[in-house]
Structure 1
Amino acid sequence: MGSEGHADGTVGKALDVLDMVAGHARPVRFSDLLENSPYPKATLYRFLQTLTHQGMLSYDADRGTYTLGVRLVRLAHAAWAQSSLAPIARPFISDLAALTGETVHLAQMDQGQVLYVDKRNAAKPVEMFSQAGKVGPAYCTGVGKAMLAFMSDEAVEAAISRQSFHRFTDHTLDTPDKLRAELGAIRSRGYAFDREEHEPGIICCAAPILTRNGRVLGALSVTSTTARTTLAALEAESTRIRECAALIAAEAESWRFPEQE
């Protein structure tokens, strides 16, 4: 990402700066942002001033720090309500979590990465990476692979090009070819696994949420730990998971995501 010629112009640069502030996950000083900024000092300062004036950022003059602004909170809430599967899926994933006694994740694809949009904790919660609002890798998560497997060939290749293929564990699929082979197996059986590929000890069974015409809306998973259960036991829930996915898809199509003729 260079300081000149951003593909999306000024708007793209401003969004880059928002991402920089959000990425610190805490109030951040100008000097901290500048240290890793692709933009010159004056350019970065100008964007910060504009974003602050527009309410997208908040500036604490006493501490000299920037945080995400309240206007972003309003926009995020509107996006969650209008574009997320979460409001539609909430009763269904709550029922699934109650029936299985395990953690249920709901996710959608965002620029080749997994965006977790909702989560229901197990009866005995387990600490893990995934939380609503977090972004995770698609190539080594059950929900990510479930979505990738049913996307168009063009969309899959575009998503694969965005994967890091970092080896998180000994089980991580760390090459495009390994992932492509796995996606073929997922298409055949209709559901995906996470075999401790992202986090040691964390396993899941996941299913895509598909419209009647096969368009991918998202995915959901039942997730647990190797200390508590087995992959075979989670696979035994695959029918229930797929039925839940179908209920969410039907509700989504009738309400918010109708197929275009």
Structure 2
Amino acid sequence: MKTSSLSTSGLNGSIIKAFKLLEFFSPLKPSWGVRELARHIGANESTTYRMMSTLERLGILYKNPISEKYALGLKLYELGNRVDINDSFVHLTHPELEKVATEIEETVHLGILKDSSVLMVDKVESLKGLRLDSTVGQMSPLHCTGLGKVLLAFSNMPLRKKLMSDYDFDVYTENTKKTIPSMTTELNKIKKNGFAIDRQEFELGLICVAVPVFNQENKLVAALSAAGPSDRFKENSLNEYVEILKRGANNIKSKIGNYKI
């Protein structure tokens, strides 16, 4: 199992492994069997079983008595409701997401870089747009999402190289980028153009356009995106989508000052 760039010196390895295991439970893959997950992460089956069994005993995982597969338990929901993710940041940015969602008429997301993934910190659904299964607090891959590609493209070069040096290019659709050279070419293009597009790279039928969000020191703090069904996406309207998103990003910049995440 590959770990993130987090230094593990002086830390409890078992806890780190447990939390890395939990990150594999997602809206796209909400349940896992022991053998299935062990094979997926390249871990010993008996070790994986002990870890999942312990997490079940703590209420962090739930075991379906019929399928014998594990899913996230209610203890995480209980703990999650005690914490507001970057509450002060979202308090400042949320009104701007609402404006963008109203104007662009699609679901709008705000994401930040968290280790080697995108952490979604806010979401606003347009009343006229497609309702998506994405949730606040969800972790998504960097290489095949609009948010992730923007965060990679506009990160400083040492950080970008560090993130990509040990990165798993998991394939989600036939459009997913699979190699560092192809990813590097696209990231350079994204930085030049100022926006990224996810053309059904993470989920078939879904297209996402994203732009960077900077603070007033011009430091990258987040990415802002709009997502909608591919059959409604119009290439000739791309500039309009980007303009709306950039306007929203600039409005956020004016509100957050020198905020850093």
User: Under a length normalisation based on structure 2, what TM-score does the superposition of the two structures give?
Assistant: 0.73
- Residue in 2 that maps onto 1:198: 202
Change (3 A) 1:56 1:232: same
- Kindly state the Cα deviation for residue 230 of structure 1 after the two structures are TM-superposed: 0.8
Aligned AA for 1:146? V
- Kindly state the Cα deviation for residue 176 of structure 1 after the two structures are TM-superposed: 1.5
Please provide the CA RMSD for this pair: 3.7
In structure 1, distance between residues paired with 2:172 and 2:88? 30
- Residue in 1 that maps onto 2:105: 101
Matches within 5 A, 1:218-233: 218-233=222-237
- Residue in 1 that maps onto 2:211: 207
SS for the counterpart of 1:174 is coil
- Residue in 2 that maps onto 1:139: 143
- Kindly state the Cα deviation for residue 177 of structure 1 after the two structures are TM-superposed: 1.5
2:52 touches 2:61 (CA, 8 Å); kept in 1?
A: no
- Residue in 2 that maps onto 1:174: 178
- Kindly state the Cα deviation for residue 64 of structure 1 after the two structures are TM-superposed: 9.0
1:107 touches 1:220 (CA, 8 Å); kept in 2?
A: yes
- Kindly state the Cα deviation for residue 154 of structure 1 after the two structures are TM-superposed: 1.8
- Matched-pair identity in %: 26
In the TM superposition, what whole-angstrom CA distance separates every residue of 1:165-186 from its partner, at most 9, and x where no partner exists? 526134x333212221222222
- Residue in 2 that maps onto 1:76: 80
In structure 2, distance between residues paired with 1:198 and 1:81? 24
1:201 touches 1:227 (CA, 8 Å); kept in 2?
A: yes
Aligned AA for 2:154? F
SS for the counterpart of 1:236 is helix
The number of equivalent residue pairs is 247
Q: Among residues 241, 250, 253, which one is paired with 1:249 in the alignment? A: 253
Could you say which structure has the larger radius of gyration? 1
Structure 1 residue runs of 5 or longer lacking an equivalent are none
Larger deviation: 156-165 or 32-41?
Answer: 32-41
In structure 2, distance between residues paired with 1:206 and 1:143? 6
User: Under a length normalisation based on structure 1, what TM-score does the superposition of the two structures give?
Assistant: 0.73
SS for the counterpart of 2:213 is strand
Matches within 5 A, 1:58-73: 68=72, 71-73=75-77
In structure 1, distance between residues paired with 2:109 and 2:23? 24
